[in-house]
Amino acid sequence: MYYKVKIEDHIRVNPTLFGKNTKAAIQKQISEKYEGYISKELGIVIDVSDINDMEQGIMIPGDGAVYYKTVFHLLTFKPDLQEVVLGKIKDIADFGAFLSLGPVDGMIHISQTMDDFVSFSKDKVLLGKESKKSLKTGDQCRARIIAVSHKDPTNPKLGLTMRQHGLGKLDWIDEDEKKAAADVKKETAKAKTKKK
């Protein structure tokens, strides 16, 4: 999920930026410090959205830089367990598929791609034996986050599933909804004929 997080920090402005507008210099230093930063608490920092407040700068002897106590907002992506996400299949392997969620990729084990026996073809396509469903690179999919690992803090791992109602390749979901609507229509027609 995307969050807008309020942060208060002392930002070091390098002396090479002294000729610039102070707010622009602080924005540049915040971006260098935080963009791409990953932590369990914040998630993945995507961008600095705005600077709310900055105090008078303080110089520390021997450093040469100026430190500004600054309050600003960061746009972050922090994956939550059970969150439903939309993404595009980035790669297919014999053990599953990788779904690009924007700032991070998630992995869908082959057993979690569909309710069917799934095989891997040479063309990097996952095929359902009975359903004849196929999953390939570039497909838009909806999945649920079932595992988040921060074992490596610089590279969080996400486990995903598409084996629940309303999840999977978007084409499959559309087909299921059309089939369900047709079934309801048939049941309604049957109910009307029984009443007569």
Residue with tokens 């073809």: 121
Q: Give the C-alpha distances (Å, rounded to integers) separating 52 from 10, 27, 41, 146.
A: 14, 11, 21, 36
pLDDT value at residue 154:
75
- Sequence-distant (6+) residues with CB within 8 A of 13 are 22, 25, 26, 29, 57, 65, 66, 67, 68
According to CATH, the topology of domain 84-180 is OB fold (Dihydrolipoamide Acetyltransferase, E2P) (2.40.50)
pLDDT value at residue 122:
85
Task: Please give the chain's pLDDT, 196 residues, in tens.
Answer: 889 999 999 999 998 888 888 999 999 999 999 988 888 888 899 988 889 888 898 988 888 899 999 999 999 999 999 999 999 999 999 999 999 998 889 999 999 999 999 999 888 999 999 999 999 999 999 999 999 998 887 788 999 999 998 999 999 989 888 888 888 888 888 877 776 6
CA-wise closest residue to 97 among 132, 129, 139: 139
- Cβ atoms of 162 and 116 within 8 Å: the answer is no
- CATH 2.40.50.140 segments of the chain: 84-180
Superfamily covering domain 2-77: RNA polymerase Rpb7-like, N-terminal domain (3.30.1490.120)
Q: Give the C-alpha distances (Å, rounded to integers) separating 3 from 40, 43, 156.
A: 14, 9, 17
pLDDT value at residue 196:
60
- Cβ atoms of 95 and 108 within 8 Å: the answer is no
